[in-house]
Protein backbone atom coordinates (compact mmCIF):
# COMPACT_ATOMS: atom_id res chain seq x y z
CA UNK A 1 0.00 0.00 0.00
CA UNK A 2 1.26 3.47 -0.85
CA UNK A 3 0.03 6.89 0.05
CA UNK A 4 0.46 10.33 -1.39
CA UNK A 5 3.12 11.29 1.15
CA UNK A 6 4.51 10.78 4.62
CA UNK A 7 1.84 11.32 7.24
CA UNK A 8 0.98 10.09 10.71
CA UNK A 9 -2.39 8.94 9.36
CA UNK A 10 -1.86 7.49 5.88
CA UNK A 11 -5.43 6.21 5.61
CA UNK A 12 -6.77 9.69 6.24
CA UNK A 13 -4.47 10.95 3.48
CA UNK A 14 -6.15 8.55 1.06
CA UNK A 15 -9.47 10.11 1.96
CA UNK A 16 -8.28 13.37 0.40
CA UNK A 17 -7.61 11.84 -3.03
CA UNK A 18 -9.69 13.27 -5.90
CA UNK A 19 -13.15 11.72 -6.06
CA UNK A 20 -12.92 9.81 -2.79
CA UNK A 21 -14.93 12.31 -0.72
CA UNK A 22 -17.68 12.20 -3.34
CA UNK A 23 -17.69 8.40 -3.23
CA UNK A 24 -17.94 8.45 0.55
CA UNK A 25 -20.87 10.88 0.43
CA UNK A 26 -22.73 8.95 -2.25
CA UNK A 27 -22.28 5.70 -0.36
CA UNK A 28 -23.41 7.28 2.90
CA UNK A 29 -26.64 8.48 1.31
CA UNK A 30 -27.37 4.97 0.00
CA UNK A 31 -26.74 3.45 3.43
CA UNK A 32 -28.89 6.09 5.12
CA UNK A 33 -31.79 5.22 2.81
CA UNK A 34 -31.77 1.63 4.06
CA UNK A 35 -31.51 2.61 7.71
CA UNK A 36 -34.28 5.17 7.30
CA UNK A 37 -36.71 2.66 5.82
CA UNK A 38 -39.70 1.88 8.02
CA UNK A 39 -39.09 -1.89 7.66
CA UNK A 40 -35.80 -1.48 9.52
CA UNK A 41 -37.68 -0.45 12.65
CA UNK A 42 -39.58 -3.72 12.84
CA UNK A 43 -37.78 -6.35 10.82
CA UNK A 44 -34.10 -5.49 10.84
CA UNK A 45 -33.12 -9.02 11.91
CA UNK A 46 -34.75 -10.43 8.78
CA UNK A 47 -32.95 -7.92 6.64
CA UNK A 48 -29.62 -8.72 8.28
CA UNK A 49 -30.10 -12.43 7.61
CA UNK A 50 -31.08 -11.79 4.00
CA UNK A 51 -28.10 -9.49 3.47
CA UNK A 52 -25.77 -12.15 4.87
CA UNK A 53 -27.13 -14.72 2.43
CA UNK A 54 -26.93 -12.39 -0.55
CA UNK A 55 -23.49 -11.18 0.45
CA UNK A 56 -22.20 -14.75 0.67
CA UNK A 57 -23.66 -15.53 -2.75
CA UNK A 58 -21.98 -12.45 -4.24
CA UNK A 59 -18.59 -13.23 -2.71
CA UNK A 60 -18.74 -16.85 -3.86
CA UNK A 61 -19.62 -15.71 -7.37
CA UNK A 62 -16.37 -13.74 -7.54
CA UNK A 63 -14.50 -16.86 -6.44
CA UNK A 64 -16.00 -19.01 -9.17
CA UNK A 65 -19.28 -20.29 -7.68
CA UNK A 66 -21.89 -18.12 -9.40
CA UNK A 67 -25.11 -19.71 -8.19
CA UNK A 68 -28.65 -18.39 -8.36
CA UNK A 69 -29.89 -17.09 -5.01
CA UNK A 70 -32.67 -19.68 -4.88
CA UNK A 71 -30.14 -22.46 -5.37
CA UNK A 72 -28.20 -21.17 -2.36
CA UNK A 73 -31.41 -21.16 -0.31
CA UNK A 74 -32.34 -24.67 -1.43
CA UNK A 75 -29.05 -26.45 -0.88
CA UNK A 76 -28.17 -27.99 2.45
CA UNK A 77 -25.00 -29.86 1.49
CA UNK A 78 -22.00 -27.77 0.50
CA UNK A 79 -19.38 -30.52 0.72
CA UNK A 80 -19.55 -31.78 -2.85
CA UNK A 81 -17.62 -30.29 -5.75
CA UNK A 82 -15.32 -27.26 -5.70
CA UNK A 83 -18.14 -24.78 -6.37
CA UNK A 84 -20.25 -26.20 -3.53
CA UNK A 85 -17.29 -25.98 -1.15
CA UNK A 86 -16.66 -22.38 -2.19
CA UNK A 87 -20.29 -21.50 -1.53
CA UNK A 88 -20.16 -23.26 1.82
CA UNK A 89 -17.03 -21.31 2.77
CA UNK A 90 -18.69 -18.01 1.82
CA UNK A 91 -21.76 -18.83 3.91
CA UNK A 92 -19.66 -19.77 6.93
CA UNK A 93 -17.66 -16.56 6.67
CA UNK A 94 -20.80 -14.47 6.37
CA UNK A 95 -22.12 -16.02 9.57
CA UNK A 96 -18.79 -15.60 11.35
CA UNK A 97 -18.16 -11.93 10.52
CA UNK A 98 -20.42 -10.48 13.18
CA UNK A 99 -18.83 -12.63 15.90
CA UNK A 100 -15.37 -11.10 15.48
CA UNK A 101 -16.04 -7.39 15.80
CA UNK A 102 -14.77 -7.05 19.36
CA UNK A 103 -11.46 -8.70 18.45
CA UNK A 104 -10.80 -6.89 15.17
CA UNK A 105 -9.56 -3.57 16.51
CA UNK A 106 -7.30 -5.26 19.09
CA UNK A 107 -5.96 -8.15 17.01
CA UNK A 108 -6.81 -8.01 13.30
CA UNK A 109 -4.27 -10.71 12.41
CA UNK A 110 -5.97 -13.08 14.82
CA UNK A 111 -9.28 -12.37 13.11
CA UNK A 112 -7.80 -12.98 9.66
CA UNK A 113 -6.38 -16.30 10.83
CA UNK A 114 -9.80 -17.24 12.21
CA UNK A 115 -11.50 -16.30 8.94
CA UNK A 116 -9.14 -18.52 6.98
CA UNK A 117 -9.74 -21.38 9.39
CA UNK A 118 -13.52 -20.99 9.02
CA UNK A 119 -13.32 -20.75 5.24
CA UNK A 120 -11.02 -23.74 4.76
CA UNK A 121 -12.73 -25.98 7.34
CA UNK A 122 -9.63 -28.18 7.34
CA UNK A 123 -6.98 -29.40 9.77
CA UNK A 124 -4.19 -28.95 7.22
CA UNK A 125 -1.16 -27.32 8.83
CA UNK A 126 -1.22 -24.48 6.29
CA UNK A 127 -4.63 -23.31 7.52
CA UNK A 128 -5.04 -20.27 9.77
CA UNK A 129 -1.56 -18.84 9.30
CA UNK A 130 0.22 -16.74 6.66
CA UNK A 131 1.83 -18.82 3.95
CA UNK A 132 5.51 -19.64 4.12
CA UNK A 133 8.07 -19.23 1.38
CA UNK A 134 7.50 -21.75 -1.40
CA UNK A 135 3.92 -22.63 -0.46
CA UNK A 136 1.51 -22.46 -3.38
CA UNK A 137 -1.57 -20.25 -3.40
CA UNK A 138 -4.89 -21.34 -4.85
CA UNK A 139 -6.83 -18.22 -5.82
CA UNK A 140 -9.12 -18.62 -8.85
CA UNK A 141 -9.59 -14.94 -9.59
CA UNK A 142 -6.47 -12.90 -8.87
CA UNK A 143 -3.48 -13.50 -11.14
CA UNK A 144 -1.23 -10.65 -10.01
CA UNK A 145 2.42 -11.35 -9.14
CA UNK A 146 2.58 -13.04 -5.77
CA UNK A 147 4.58 -11.25 -3.04
CA UNK A 148 7.10 -13.34 -1.13
CA UNK A 149 6.45 -14.56 2.40
CA UNK A 150 8.70 -11.95 4.01
CA UNK A 151 6.90 -9.11 2.24
CA UNK A 152 3.55 -10.60 3.20
CA UNK A 153 4.56 -10.74 6.86
CA UNK A 154 5.81 -7.15 6.90
CA UNK A 155 2.80 -5.71 5.12
CA UNK A 156 0.35 -7.64 7.30
CA UNK A 157 2.04 -6.24 10.37
CA UNK A 158 1.82 -2.75 8.88
CA UNK A 159 -1.86 -3.19 8.07
CA UNK A 160 -2.55 -4.44 11.59
CA UNK A 161 -0.75 -1.44 13.07
CA UNK A 162 -2.93 0.94 11.04
CA UNK A 163 -6.12 -0.77 12.17
CA UNK A 164 -5.12 -0.85 15.83
CA UNK A 165 -4.02 2.80 15.76
CA UNK A 166 -7.35 3.90 14.30
CA UNK A 167 -7.53 7.37 12.86
CA UNK A 168 -9.81 9.79 11.12
CA UNK A 169 -10.16 8.05 7.76
CA UNK A 170 -13.69 7.34 6.52
CA UNK A 171 -14.82 3.75 7.01
CA UNK A 172 -14.93 3.25 3.25
CA UNK A 173 -11.23 4.10 2.92
CA UNK A 174 -10.18 1.72 5.69
CA UNK A 175 -12.41 -1.08 4.35
CA UNK A 176 -11.10 -0.63 0.81
CA UNK A 177 -7.46 -0.69 1.95
CA UNK A 178 -8.00 -3.83 4.04
CA UNK A 179 -9.76 -5.51 1.11
CA UNK A 180 -7.19 -4.41 -1.47
CA UNK A 181 -4.17 -5.26 0.65
CA UNK A 182 -5.39 -8.78 1.35
CA UNK A 183 -6.11 -9.40 -2.32
CA UNK A 184 -2.73 -8.02 -3.33
CA UNK A 185 -0.87 -10.10 -0.73
CA UNK A 186 -2.94 -13.30 -0.82
CA UNK A 187 -1.45 -14.17 2.58
CA UNK A 188 -3.04 -17.62 2.84
CA UNK A 189 -2.72 -20.70 0.69
CA UNK A 190 -6.42 -20.55 -0.24
CA UNK A 191 -9.67 -18.57 0.10
CA UNK A 192 -7.96 -15.17 0.04
CA UNK A 193 -10.71 -13.48 -1.96
CA UNK A 194 -13.42 -14.71 0.38
CA UNK A 195 -11.41 -13.65 3.42
CA UNK A 196 -10.64 -10.22 1.95
CA UNK A 197 -14.28 -9.47 1.22
CA UNK A 198 -15.33 -10.65 4.69
CA UNK A 199 -12.70 -8.43 6.27
CA UNK A 200 -14.08 -5.50 4.29
CA UNK A 201 -17.49 -6.25 5.74
CA UNK A 202 -16.11 -6.43 9.28
CA UNK A 203 -14.61 -2.95 8.89
CA UNK A 204 -17.87 -1.51 7.58
CA UNK A 205 -19.86 -3.03 10.44
CA UNK A 206 -17.37 -2.27 13.19
CA UNK A 207 -16.90 1.34 12.08
CA UNK A 208 -20.57 2.06 12.70
CA UNK A 209 -21.26 2.76 9.04
CA UNK A 210 -23.36 -0.40 8.73
CA UNK A 211 -23.80 -1.68 12.29
CA UNK A 212 -26.64 -4.07 11.42
CA UNK A 213 -24.78 -5.47 8.40
CA UNK A 214 -27.54 -4.77 5.91
CA UNK A 215 -25.45 -3.24 3.09
CA UNK A 216 -23.42 -6.17 1.70
CA UNK A 217 -20.61 -4.82 -0.47
CA UNK A 218 -20.11 -8.34 -1.84
CA UNK A 219 -23.42 -8.00 -3.68
CA UNK A 220 -22.16 -4.85 -5.37
CA UNK A 221 -18.77 -6.31 -6.22
CA UNK A 222 -20.49 -9.23 -7.94
CA UNK A 223 -22.93 -6.95 -9.74
CA UNK A 224 -20.13 -4.74 -11.05
CA UNK A 225 -18.48 -7.88 -12.40
CA UNK A 226 -15.12 -9.60 -12.31
CA UNK A 227 -13.54 -7.49 -15.05
CA UNK A 228 -14.28 -4.22 -13.24
CA UNK A 229 -13.18 -5.74 -9.93
CA UNK A 230 -9.82 -6.79 -11.32
CA UNK A 231 -9.29 -3.51 -13.16
CA UNK A 232 -9.92 -1.57 -9.95
CA UNK A 233 -7.61 -3.91 -8.05
CA UNK A 234 -4.87 -3.21 -10.59
CA UNK A 235 -5.27 0.44 -9.62
CA UNK A 236 -4.79 -0.39 -5.96
CA UNK A 237 -1.70 -2.48 -6.64
CA UNK A 238 -0.21 0.30 -8.76
CA UNK A 239 -0.05 2.47 -5.64
CA UNK A 240 -0.63 5.64 -7.68
CA UNK A 241 -3.04 8.27 -6.33
CA UNK A 242 -5.31 7.72 -9.35
CA UNK A 243 -5.26 3.96 -8.93
CA UNK A 244 -5.91 4.08 -5.20
CA UNK A 245 -8.77 6.52 -5.70
CA UNK A 246 -10.28 4.29 -8.38
CA UNK A 247 -10.17 1.25 -6.08
CA UNK A 248 -11.70 3.13 -3.15
CA UNK A 249 -14.44 4.52 -5.39
CA UNK A 250 -15.10 1.05 -6.79
CA UNK A 251 -15.55 -0.28 -3.25
CA UNK A 252 -17.85 2.63 -2.45
CA UNK A 253 -19.98 1.85 -5.47
CA UNK A 254 -20.16 -1.79 -4.34
CA UNK A 255 -21.50 -0.73 -0.93
CA UNK A 256 -24.04 1.52 -2.68
CA UNK A 257 -25.27 -1.39 -4.77
CA UNK A 258 -25.47 -3.61 -1.69
CA UNK A 259 -27.52 -0.92 0.05
CA UNK A 260 -29.76 -0.61 -3.00
CA UNK A 261 -30.36 -4.36 -2.95
CA UNK A 262 -31.37 -4.24 0.71
CA UNK A 263 -33.65 -1.28 0.05
CA UNK A 264 -35.39 -3.41 -2.56
CA UNK A 265 -35.72 -6.21 0.00
CA UNK A 266 -37.26 -3.70 2.42
CA UNK A 267 -39.81 -2.73 -0.21
CA UNK A 268 -40.62 -6.38 -0.87
CA UNK A 269 -41.03 -7.09 2.84
CA UNK A 270 -43.31 -4.07 3.16
CA UNK A 271 -45.48 -5.37 0.34
CA UNK A 272 -45.50 -8.83 1.88
CA UNK A 273 -43.93 -10.52 -1.12
CA UNK A 274 -40.57 -11.54 0.42
Alpha helices in the chain (DSSP H): 10-14, 20-35, 39-62, 69-74, 82-97, 101-104, 108-120, 149-165, 171-185, 192-206, 217-224, 226-238, 241-271
Question: Which DSSP symbol is given to 215?
Answer: S
pLDDT bin (cut points 50, 70, 90) of residue 9 is confident
Nearest residue to 220 via CA among 245, 201, 239: 201
Q: What is the pLDDT of residue 4?
A: 41
Query: Is the pLDDT confidence value at 7 over 80?
Result: no
For the chain, how long is the longest CA-to-CA vector? 55
Neighbours of 192 (CB within 10 A): 24
Give the C-alpha separation, 179 to 201, whole Å. Answer: 9
> How much is the pTM?
0.94
Give the C-alpha separation, 141 to 233, whole Å. Answer: 11
Do residues 47 and 262 touch, judged by C-beta distance below 8 A?
A: yes
Give me the phi and psi of 239, to 5 degrees please: 75, 0
Whole-Å CA distances, 146 to 127, 128, 143, 182, 223: 18, 19, 8, 12, 27
Give the C-alpha separation, 232 to 234, whole Å. Answer: 5
Instruction: Note the Cα 208 to chain centre separation in Å.
Output: 15
Strand, coil or helix: 15: coil
Give the C-alpha separation, 188 to 128, whole Å. Answer: 8
Do residues 175 and 196 touch, judged by C-beta distance below 8 A?
A: no
Do residues 111 and 100 touch, judged by C-beta distance below 8 A?
A: yes
- Per-residue pLDDT tens over the stretch 89-143: 999 999 999 899 999 999 999 999 999 999 999 989 999 999 999 999 998 788 8
Q: What percent of the chain has pLDDT over 70?
A: 96
- Per-residue pLDDT tens over the stretch 181-236: 999 999 999 999 999 999 999 999 999 999 999 999 999 999 999 999 999 999 99
Amino acid sequence: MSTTGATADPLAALGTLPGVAESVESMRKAVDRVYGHRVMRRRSNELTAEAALRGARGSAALSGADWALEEVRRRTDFSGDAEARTMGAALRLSAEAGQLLSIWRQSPLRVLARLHLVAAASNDDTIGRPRQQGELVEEPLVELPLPGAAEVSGRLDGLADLIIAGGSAPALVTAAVVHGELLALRPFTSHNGLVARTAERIVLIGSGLDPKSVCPAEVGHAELGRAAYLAALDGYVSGTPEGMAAWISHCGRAVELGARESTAVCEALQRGVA
